[in-house]
Structure 1
Amino acid sequence: MSKLPDPFREGLARGWQAHNGADGLPDEVTCDVAIVGTGAGAGITAEILTKAGLAVVLLEEGPLRTSSDFNQREAEAYSSLYQESAARRTMDGAISVLQGRCVGGTTVVNWTSSFRTPENTLQHWQDKYGLQEFSESAMAPWFEQVERRLNMHRWEEAPPNRNNEVLRQGAQKIGISADVIPRNVKGCWNLGSCGMGCPTNAKQSMLITTLPAALEAKARLYYQTRAQRLDIKDGKVQAIQCVPIRVNGEKVSDKVMRVKARHYVVAGGAINSPALLLRSNAPDPHGFLGKRTFLHPVSFSAGIFAEKVAAWAGAPQSIYSDHFVHNAPADGPMGYKLEAAPLQPGLASMLMGGHGATLAARMQHYPHTQMMLSLMRDGFHPESVGGTVRLNPDGSPLLDYRLTDYVFDGMRRSLLTMAEIQFAAGAQMVMPYHEQGQYYRSWAEAKAGIAQLEMKPLLMGVGSAHVMGGCWMGGTEKQGVIRPDGVHWHIDNLSVHDGSIFPTSIGANPQLSIYGATNKLATQLAKQLTGKSVQLA
């Protein structure tokens, strides 16, 4: 087979300005706008601001990897494309947190599911946080532009793989809704390796869409370059102090590059963005910064089928059910969204639980295993306050997120739902991801067994790939860290454009919510800085 094109490397060959901090940094860089991060919020912002004619500098602590580097090998992908080599966990170790750490951020490694912010989430923000500009009708044009730009559409180009079809079949049999997931792909090869970077450039991540557009418009990229702290004085950022780092996150040297700009955009992702502001001693008169950080804590259930499922092949996520989100009032039990999880071998070895002989026995079922997941919608109920971003002694971020009885109640109900769906779809056995979990051979047996599980941290298997909050928007300074236009309430030339701006979790995979909100905020910022009206698409 002939070698596939690599548009990013072709751009570098044409002279795009991309610099590896590990190879050396200048003492000072100046620009109109400095953007920390290169993920969903940063990419959209960079394209819009360069369209307005602004000189943009992008700062990324992760490495530059392109489609030529993506080889569908988990060990290499996890170590080079994810925060802390895919080993990031909450402070008590009870929740595994997957976030991207590379040029393009999590957009490079997500599973492409693309949902608009649910109407009931937007209404909650209006009612509780004064975000009147974020109604469903007001946000629709911003979502539409992003959907065109990133080729988001219902994934009906290929039938759902068996892993996803189980969810649809089982949901229909127990009488709940299920539908097709929109995905941001173009010419997808249906390989199933989205979480390791797309080797065919089908995924419309920031790596092949907005970042190339910004670099073509003379933006400058510094990767393996960490934004260490903001110099803040008299209500303004004076500069960003940056340090060169290796792929493993260690500093190369004590060399500091100062980036000076008219305006600064922090878009390092929830956890890293609050941490940067905390390291910088940013004004926080109401003690909000880093608080209300949400995860969509995820529970998992493995169903074993007589026929081969091959959950590693095909679009990772193409079917979902919102039945238990739509029917979950904010003041009631925690709601959850149902989806399927792809199972590459390394990920499977974790989600199937156990170790040694137990894990080896479970892996015998690997080709016949279907994996379902439930995303907990956190942040709506008074007993769902999320977590707090703190700093380790070295200044690195640490998320303190305590699993409460309220969250555990939602997780137990989700395990019951997933088991019922899997048995309805023909599973021979079902096992919840729990230290005390075992294979149940009927729905009745599963219902009794799951009811007896001890719901405690480190016993209940919990993960998350969605991090939101920590720098949330509010209609007044007593309702949030930043204004509804994305500008910090107490720092005039600083904006935040990433998932940390959300006052609650989304209740759906958040990438399109970040894209849509950032599209709005970045367009307003471009108008503020230049007087020009520009559009993403």
Structure 2
Amino acid sequence: MVSRFPDPIRLGLARGWNVHGGPHGPVPERLSCDVAIVGSGAGGGITAELLARAGLSVVIVEEGPLRSSSDFRQLESEAYPALYQESAARKTADKAITILQGRCVGGSTTVNWTSSFRTPAPTLAYWREHFGLDGMDPDALAPWFEQVERRLGIDAWLMPPNENNDLLRRGADKLGIRTGEIRRNVRGCWNLGSCGMGCPTNAKQSMLVTTIPAALDAGARLLVQTRAQRLQLQADRVEALECVAVGPDGSASGVATRITARHYVLAGGAINTPALLLRSGAPDPHRRTGLRTFLHPVVISAAVFDDPVEGWKGAPQTIYSDHFLETQPLDGPIGYKLEAPPLHPIIFSTTLPGFGRAQADLLSRFPNTQALLALLRDGFHAESPGGQVRLREDGSPLLDYPLSPFVLEGARRALLSMAEIQFAAGARSVLPVHELAQSCSTWEQARAMIDTLPMQPLLTRVVSAHVMGGCGMAGDAQRGVVGPDGVHWQLANLSVHDGSLFPTSIGANPQLSIYGIVNRLAAGLRQRLGAPATALA
């Protein structure tokens, strides 16, 4: 299939970008640079552009492939194996939570649903009080957010919401529940609805089409299908980064590369970044590395309506409600954010319960099905301490995330809230996504059933696309892995610039939080490395 749109990646390669790995030729055995960046997603992309445009020599190491709009054909069967960790089937240790994470140039920004929220003020206040992050307040961060919002086209979405999202708005309105509109990082969006499979029109302003091309135009080098395997350490510094070539499926080929740099930035995401530190034996005197990893555990409610919903059409997420966050204190019963996810057949069928005839019946009503999801705000209460990244025998990462009774009781309240909203919007039936749930035809019936469901791991279907924490920042080494400047407390030439920085979950879709906070951290790093001031293009 030939794209009708100019492909900025193919154009860049044609004009001489320095890209190696996979189909782009072997990676050199030895490389040296000012800054080596592991990961090309939200944190790695922002950092790479700022530092490369300041004249520093930058090498970006990306485990996934370089794919572009010419490859994005709006097909789940192609997108998930090519663009996601473990083919969009990464799971926690007990298999109770499925995790969607990008694994490609641009990382999760290439495949996310464009939802853009600044870090909520209550979250920042909690960080200041409990983690000594005195500079983390809305006024101090505002200029950094404004820069990335201009750079990435983050603004109000002016198109009407699709029916999937508008049903959330209409149902909430009938119950007196406030909703809002979600800002999106798009320019010239065609409203196709396939954001999770890569944008075929280059409208989504992901790192794939913004900061990574800008960094490459400024002379950065990009290594794709290259895994950061281990950091070589000496005393309080990193001496080198050892990498290995991998195939499209992630299997190592044995071809090794050694990168030496003045400074190293880890931005591989909040499972892979802690894992790299653990594999490397990085100093961890307070046993913080990999701890307090958060997911915004997500539970889902599906509803069938008389009229078609066609949840695969149009911008995927444009309406939200924070009512159930704002009415819960941070340290009280777990709160949750409501959104309406896009619906596509593979994700739909693998997430909903049932099999055989029962699942066939569900799929037969797919065009008339609407879904709501609840993002549970973990990390603010003693009974939601998150999970822990650890290593398998082969050194690959594994997240152990126990679903506590505290979190699962929040899931029950969320299922009740979503069902009530869906019935208020006119649903003919509602099915909470739980292995023992039945489709209900009235709100009273649904409420009675949800109240008695056993809220247990594996019975309660839980998913996540927001991995945070594991290398939390704090004002002292006892409470965090890195300091307020993003620099590792024990390794002077190593920084962390991704969602693993967050000492709790965000309580909102995290991409803009990563963009804004990393923008400030990268500017500070540029200054410490003696490079001239620059800003995002």
Instruction: Report the TM-score range of the alignment, normalised by the length of the smaller protein.
Output: over 0.9
The 3-state SS of whatever aligns with 1:476 is: coil
Task: Give 1:533 shift.
Answer: 2.2
1:16: which partner in 2? 17
Task: Give 1:350 shift.
Answer: 2.0
2:101: which partner in 1? 99
TM-score, scaled relative to structure 2:
0.99
AA partner of residue 339 (structure 1):
E
1:196: which partner in 2? 197
The 3-state SS of whatever aligns with 1:230 is: strand
- Describe the superposition over 1:247-280 as per-residue Cα deviations: whole angstroms up to 9, x where unpaired: 101011x221100000000000000000000000
Contact 2:295 2:465 in 1 (8 A): yes
For 1:77 and 1:2, the matched residues in 2 are separated by 16
2:123: which partner in 1? 121
AA partner of residue 192 (structure 1):
G
AA partner of residue 457 (structure 1):
P
Task: Give 1:351 shift.
Answer: 2.9
The 3-state SS of whatever aligns with 2:108 is: helix
For 2:408 and 2:399, the matched residues in 1 are separated by 19
AA partner of residue 310 (structure 1):
E
AA partner of residue 506 (structure 1):
I
1:231: which partner in 2? 232
AA partner of residue 459 (structure 1):
L
Task: Give 1:534 shift.
Answer: 2.0
For 1:436 and 1:207, the matched residues in 2 are separated by 41
1:84: which partner in 2? 86
- Describe the superposition over 1:139-163 as per-residue Cα deviations: whole angstroms up to 9, x where unpaired: 111101110000001112x110000
For 1:263 and 1:351, the matched residues in 2 are separated by 42
For 2:8 and 2:232, the matched residues in 1 are separated by 36
For 2:95 and 2:479, the matched residues in 1 are separated by 30
The 3-state SS of whatever aligns with 1:75 is: helix
Task: Give 1:529 shift.
Answer: 0.2
Contact 1:296 1:377 in 2 (8 A): yes
1:186: which partner in 2? 187
2:40: which partner in 1? 38
For 2:467 and 2:536, the matched residues in 1 are separated by 25
Structure 2 residue 77 is matched with structure 1 residue 75: yes
2:7: which partner in 1? 6
The 3-state SS of whatever aligns with 1:171 is: helix
Contact 1:52 1:530 in 2 (8 A): no
AA partner of residue 89 (structure 2):
A
The 3-state SS of whatever aligns with 2:51 is: helix
For 1:530 and 1:8, the matched residues in 2 are separated by 31
For 1:206 and 1:410, the matched residues in 2 are separated by 34
2:324: which partner in 1? 324
Contact 1:384 1:407 in 2 (8 A): yes
For 1:507 and 1:309, the matched residues in 2 are separated by 28
Contact 2:3 2:69 in 1 (8 A): no
For 1:87 and 1:180, the matched residues in 2 are separated by 30
Task: Give 1:21 shift.
Answer: 4.5
Task: Give 1:438 shift.
Answer: 1.2
1:288: which partner in 2? 288
For 1:465 and 1:55, the matched residues in 2 are separated by 32
For 1:21 and 1:73, the matched residues in 2 are separated by 23
- Describe the superposition over 1:114-162 as per-residue Cα deviations: whole angstroms up to 9, x where unpaired: 0000000000000000001111111111101110000001112x11000
AA partner of residue 214 (structure 1):
A
For 2:227 and 2:321, the matched residues in 1 are separated by 39
For 1:5 and 1:440, the matched residues in 2 are separated by 48
Equivalent runs, 1:63-462 vs 2, <5 Å: 63-156=65-158, 158-252=159-253, 254-462=254-462
1:523: which partner in 2? 523
AA partner of residue 95 (structure 2):
G
The 3-state SS of whatever aligns with 2:229 is: strand
For 1:352 and 1:32, the matched residues in 2 are separated by 48
For 1:350 and 1:454, the matched residues in 2 are separated by 21
Contact 1:308 1:367 in 2 (8 A): yes
For 2:347 and 2:448, the matched residues in 1 are separated by 28
For 2:157 and 2:256, the matched residues in 1 are separated by 46
The 3-state SS of whatever aligns with 1:67 is: coil
The 3-state SS of whatever aligns with 1:256 is: strand
What RMSD in Å do the two structures reach over aligned CA positions? 1.0
- Describe the superposition over 1:470-524 as per-residue Cα deviations: whole angstroms up to 9, x where unpaired: 0000001112000100000000000000000000000000000000010000000
- Describe the superposition over 1:18-49 as per-residue Cα deviations: whole angstroms up to 9, x where unpaired: 11157422220010000000000000000000
For 1:261 and 1:411, the matched residues in 2 are separated by 46
For 1:393 and 1:250, the matched residues in 2 are separated by 15
Moved more, 342-351 or 237-246: 342-351
For 1:192 and 1:393, the matched residues in 2 are separated by 40
1:477: which partner in 2? 477
For 2:344 and 2:243, the matched residues in 1 are separated by 36
Q: How many percent of aligned residue pairs carry the same amino acid?
A: 61
Change in Cα spacing, 1:280 to 1:21, as seen in structure 2 (3 Å) is farther
Q: Runs of 4 or more off by more than 4 Å in structure 1?
A: none
TM-score, scaled relative to structure 1:
0.99
Residue segments in structure 1 that go unaligned for 5+ positions in a row: none
AA partner of residue 452 (structure 1):
T
The 3-state SS of whatever aligns with 2:90 is: coil
Contact 2:22 2:65 in 1 (8 A): no
Moved more, 118-127 or 346-355: 346-355
The count of corresponding residues between Structure 1 and Structure 2 is 535
The 3-state SS of whatever aligns with 1:68 is: coil
The 3-state SS of whatever aligns with 1:12 is: helix
Residue segments in structure 2 that go unaligned for 5+ positions in a row: none
For 2:498 and 2:331, the matched residues in 1 are separated by 27
